Amino acid sequence: MRERSSIGTAFHIPVDHTTPPRLPAGLIWRARLAAMLDQGVQQAVTLVCAGPGWGKTALVASWAAARSMAGPVAWLTLDDQHDDAFAFWSDLFLALHTAGALPHGHAVPASDADEAEYRQAVAAALALRKTPAVVVLDDLQRVTDPRILGGLAGLLRLRQARFVLLTRRESDLPLHRLRTGGELTEIRACDLGFRLEEAAELLAIGGRGMPSDRLAAIVRRTEGWSAGVRLLLDNPDPAHADDLVEDYMLREVLGAQPEEVRRFLLRTAVPDRICGELAHALTGERHSQYLLEDLTRGNLFVERTGGGRWFRYHPMLRAALRRRLARRWPDTPSGLHREAARWHDDDGAALPALAHAAAAADWDLVARIVVRRGLPLFTSGDRPQLMEVLHRIPVARLPETAELAVCAVMLAYARGDLASVPRRIAAIRSLLAGREDNARALVGTALAVLESGTVIRWQGDMPHLLRASTDLLTELSRLSWDQAPSLLQYRAMTLNNKGAALLWSGWFDHADRYLWAAVTASRTAGVPLTEVNALGLLAQLAVFQGSLGDAADHANAAVEAARRIDSGGDAAVAPAYLAQAMIESERGREPETEDWLRKGLHALGEVPEATQFVVAGTIRVRLMLDRGDTAGARSLLGQVRAESGPPLSASQVDRILDLAGAEIRLASGDPAAVVMAYGSRVVITAAEQVLLARALLATGNLPVAATLLGRVRDGSDRVSATAAWILTALAADTQGRSSVASEALAQALAAAEPERIRRPFRTFDVNRVMVLAERQHWLTELRGPAGDGVLGEITGEIPIISPTPSAGPLSEREVDVLQYLPTVLTAGEIAENLGISVNTVKAHMRSIYRKLGAARRREAVVTARQSGLI
């Protein structure tokens, strides 16, 4: 008899080599794992492979005890003496004998038999069995002799044997053929780990309770490691539990390793992830990659992560190693963190570099890394992690160097203190005055990129932004990666800023080229939020050009890219949200417009980018106008103008503010003011020409209006073209030219349908447009379904297959819907007024048509009036 440590417990129990160990108290039956073992012994081999403390022996022993009535289970617990062939084969034969697995009358080798005779006796005994016997070999990692493993490999092929192999490390047995042939069942640490319900059952055995969130935290922290779960459950004092876990880990993992491996593990536990190159930097060990792979094969709580070059230590092993390192060599961890920071910086991984530099409290190193690589993080989804590091810098240290002062600028900007940013940037340039050229160039470049995005663009000074970004692109072309490690990211960000400057300066063709260049450069440089922002600006550009389909494609791509990196609330995606709101506004979908506007305002934050603030404001003005609140729209527009004042300087912003103002004047019955505003301009956009034409029509100047409308109708701006055709139809109708009016409205419908443009039909003299549209419905029925989608939405017509009247009175809700049919409200607007879904309204309308024997809305209205229903 000898003493053997019971896996998953902190005490010892006596076991014998050739019998299963006695089961400890407090053991639970793990049905899912027992089922895996039951399935496994239907095949040749079941491999239970995991490091110490995962409960391999306890699991298989409890399963063997429960299965004993089904057939013999021979058990052999191996130790170092079994690496001798005679000891192995003689004890294996004894295990078969003890379990009653030998065939009746099978001869026992003589007392002076050698290992070959015992090996042959084991093989013969198993081969002669009528039913398969289960053979459990525990601690198989103790056996390394190739001759023993070769003989055991031969037994694995016997049809009358089922082997269950328990081992801490990958076996040298040739199991690959069994694996590919489907004859191998594998149970590993990921299977053995305790699940929440199993941990709760373990707790309940002792009559103890624990809040579910605390129990879940234990399972997460231990990652289901059996010994860790038991130790933490049995010891409510966290400090004492950590001591016990550390003692177990260091004894079971470190204790059996040579000195160089122990030193390697202690020093490489400082990072959360480790690879061969980083391990070499921390330890000087040239064969670090091989060591990590060997530790992984040995199941010593080291595993490969992500399928690449990186490895991770089990969190409890990592914590134990860090505690031991800090106690024995208190000054060593900070030096290792500093070395890891430098290595990650050289490797181009900014966040880990900053995290290690901060852990070392080396704030100068933090600042240098921020200058080299931090700005792309500042404009990315990783910004919260960057800011967490920057907030740890002692405030008194921030003015000391130019690099630390750059960190101060980022902190000021993040908390919304934009007013102090220009002053801080000026102070940094003063600090750079006496610095050497390389350092000055590195900090100066980062500062220029930072200033362009956080000051000049945010304030809306587009001429300044255009000059600064142009100069910066020239400067970046002269730098090498050694001088500016974030060169690719800087170029992508600067291209985007220049594209924004060109867009808001009204140079759309140039803006389109630079924004697409920014999208491509962002993908190459790995700065997804810059790509998101550029796509959002492209969407807004497409809206300004009247191409809603292209705008929707760009906006959807931006929103999807932001979603993939979990940055849907970042300011970078705000232009895409606002573009979607503008698109839905042109499509006459007010609820959707409000939803996208709400998302855009949330993303913009408390200190919004000046140009986007104006875009959001003009969308709100439009919503008020569409609801008929002209006075509210005028007041809001004045507020937007006042709050977006200097230093905002952007011609396109002026244009959209003036367009909103012109719409308000037309809605207020002041077309002369619009004629005065736009009549003298030499170059005006398609949207401006439409507004001027509306004003001219209202003042009776049809010839000039007709000339303007003719230009717009043939242009590429589909929104303006649709509006121009509607105005043409209205002008022709005023002159009594009904056929021309009908043809013009048909052209408007054809232009609107592909882009789903609806707003102009509801903005221009709604009652007259409705009359023309209803007349067009009859013509459309005769000529075919062209334009019927938009036409049906405008008139509210929902055709049915058969107009045959149906018996039965209208229901109460149908009567409610019927009252709205004589109005110009669409089905969606009726639904909103009644507080029901649009599909329900449409269903009621179909029922009304059927009961009244009407094919379309107007027929239903006439019939209802004749019947006295309305």
Write the pLDDT tens digit of every residue in 730-747: 999 888 888 888 889 889
Assess whether pLDDT exceeds 80 at residue 794: no
Q: What are phi and psi of 203, to 5 degrees?
A: -70, -40
Q: For residue 799, which of 813, 788, 810 has the smallest C-alpha distance?
A: 788
> For residues 176-211, b (16+ Cβ closer than 10 Å) or e, as one string?
eebeeeeebbebebebbbbeeebbbebbeeeeeebe
Residue 801 CA to residue 810 CA, distance in Å, equals: 20
Domain with CATH 1.10.10.10 in the chain: 812-866
642-651, 793-802, 805-814, 856-865: range with highest mean pLDDT: 642-651
Assess whether pLDDT exceeds 90 at residue 529: yes
Cβ atoms of 51 and 253 closer than 8 Å: yes
Q: 603-632: per-residue pLDDT in tens? A: 999 889 999 999 999 999 999 999 999 999
Residue 61 CA to residue 164 CA, distance in Å, equals: 11
Q: Span 417-427, mean pLDDT?
A: 89
Q: Span 336-356, mean pLDDT?
A: 96
5-19, 394-408, 441-455, 819-833: range with highest mean pLDDT: 394-408
Q: For residue 230, which of 212, 213, 251, 248 has the smallest C-alpha distance?
A: 248
**E-assigned strands of 501-568?**
none
> Over the chain, what is the mean pLDDT?
89
Domain with CATH 3.40.50.300 in the chain: 2-192
Residue 413 CA to residue 454 CA, distance in Å, equals: 7
DSSP codes joined into one string, 643-679: HT-TT-B-HHHHHHHHHHHHHHHHHTT-HHHHHHHHT
Q: Span 818-847, mean pLDDT?
A: 83
Q: 186-196: per-residue pLDDT in tens? A: 999 999 999 99
Higher-pLDDT residue of 565, 596:
596
Domain with CATH 1.25.40 in the chain: 671-787
Cβ atoms of 591 and 555 closer than 8 Å: no
CA angle 566, 570, 576 (to 5 degrees): 95
Assess whether pLDDT exceeds 70 at residue 784: no
What one-letter code names the amino acid at 100?
G
Bridging pattern class, strands 311-313 and 133-138: unpaired
Other beta carbons less than 10 A from residue 27's beta carbon: 17
Token pair, residue 107, equals 């001869």
Place of tokens 């990211």: 489
Token pair, residue 254, equals 């470190």
Q: Span 469-480, mean pLDDT?
A: 93
What one-letter code names the amino acid at 770?
M
> Range with the lowest mean pLDDT among 10-19, 60-69, 844-853?
10-19
pLDDT attached to residue 666: 95
CATH architecture of the domain covering 2-192: 3-Layer(aba) Sandwich (3.40)
Sign of CA dihedral 770, 773, 775, 778: negative
Cβ atoms of 12 and 4 closer than 8 Å: yes
Helix H, strand E, coil C: the string for 84-153 is CHHHHHHHHHHHHHHCCCCCCCCCCCCCCCCHHHHHHHHHHHHHCCCCCEEEEEECHHHCCCHHHHHHHH
Cβ atoms of 185 and 47 closer than 8 Å: yes
pLDDT attached to residue 10: 35
Assess whether pLDDT exceeds 60 at residue 15: no
812-866 has which fold?
A: Arc Repressor Mutant, subunit A (1.10.10)
Q: What are phi and psi of 312, to 5 degrees?
A: -135, 145
The widest CA-to-CA distance across the chain, in whole angstroms, is 126
Cα separation of the two ends of the chain: 101
Residue 532 CA to residue 510 CA, distance in Å, equals: 19
Place of tokens 């992690």: 385
* Cis, peptide link before residue 174, omega less than 30° from 0: no
CATH architecture of the domain covering 671-787: Alpha Horseshoe (1.25)
Other beta carbons less than 10 A from residue 415's beta carbon: 13
Distance of alpha carbon 165 from the chain centroid: 42
Token pair, residue 292, equals 């990590």
Confidence of residue 847 (pLDDT cuts 50, 70, 90): confident
198-359 has which fold?
A: Arc Repressor Mutant, subunit A (1.10.10)
Distance of alpha carbon 148 from the chain centroid: 52
